[in-house]
Amino acid sequence: MLLQNPTKQAAVTTADKVFEQLQFAIVEGEMAAGSKISEPELAKHYQISRSTLREALNRLEKCHLIERKPNVGSRVVNCTIEGLLELYITREALEGMACRQAALNMTDEEIAHMQDMLTQHAGDKALQDGVAYYQEKGDLDFHYKVILGSHNKQLIELICGQLYHLIRMYRCQFGMNSPRASRAFDEHSRIIQAIADRDGELAEMLMRRHIAASRKNIENKIAKEMAQKEQNKIQLIKS
């Protein structure tokens, strides 16, 4: 599914390439969350030296996909419910502000382009009952465009370069293709409207609500899963 972030340039050095592969492996769950990373083992697997691997590990650490302890080693980051909620709260703050800045700083061309994109997505959506597709690609496209539209390097780097790797990881690990597609689509078009009106305050508020709604949706889903598990346990005891 790829869906790489739009800010990064092509990987030139081998450490970069290995970084990308590892990133993919972690996000997709091929490397289990929380598992220990053996430098000699991984280096052998990718047929590179430990120095090069460590360079790649440093980049993984930069986007919070692994955690390192001095003299002990690295672990793939753990996906917890608390972590997910903390992540979404941070995202709400950053992307909310990015959206406000986008309303102030986007060029008319950029706005027009984003409106086109949404129209096109609307077509796709109608075409294929629009759940799966819109959820994945369309959603990310929209959010990336807004973030880049802020024209704020600091925000762009923090959100695209760091936060979104983790978000994608959580999405994969927790299997989050939530059924909010059509509602999300409406929210997106309202946000674009606010940006087109150059109404930064409203744009920020709508984006924050949009992300908060997504967060609450996840909370509910997890709560249900927990209840389901509990139910299964009871069933098991009875039998």
Interacting residue ranges for its own copies, rule: CB under 8 A: 12-13, 16, 51, 54-55, 58, 61-62, 64, 70-71, 83, 86-87, 89-90, 92-94, 96-97, 101, 152-155, 157-158, 162
Which secondary-structure segment (H or E) carries 206? Answer: helix 200-238
Between 89 and 234, name the residue whose CB sits nearer to its own copies.
89
Q: Which residue among 4, 51, 78, 177 contacts DNA (CB under 7 A)?
A: 51
| Under rule CB under 7 A, residue 50 binds DNA | yes
- Residue 8 as a binder of DNA (CB under 7 A): the answer is no
Nearer to its own copies, 57 or 181 (CB): 57
Asked if 35 touches DNA (CB under 7 A), the answer is: no
Taking the complex as a whole, how short is the minimal distance between the CB of residue 101 and its own copies, in angstroms?
A: 7
Other C-beta atoms within 10 Å of 94: how many? Answer: 20
Q: Is the dihedral of CA 61, 68, 79, 211 positive or negative?
A: negative
Query: Any contact of residue 26 with DNA (CB under 7 A)?
Result: no
Helix (H, G, I), strand (E, B) or coil at 79: coil
Q: What angle do CA 44, 47, 52 make, to 5 degrees?
A: 95
Number of CB atoms found within 10 A of residue 44's CB: 12
**CA pseudo-torsion sign 62, 173, 133, 11:** positive
Among its own copies, DNA, none, residue 40 binds (CB under 5-8 Å by kind): DNA
**In terms of Cα–Cα distance, which of 52, 195, 181 is closest to 128?**
181
Least Cβ distance, residue 165 to its own copies (angstroms): 13
Among 10, 40, 126, 235, binds DNA (CB under 7 A): 40
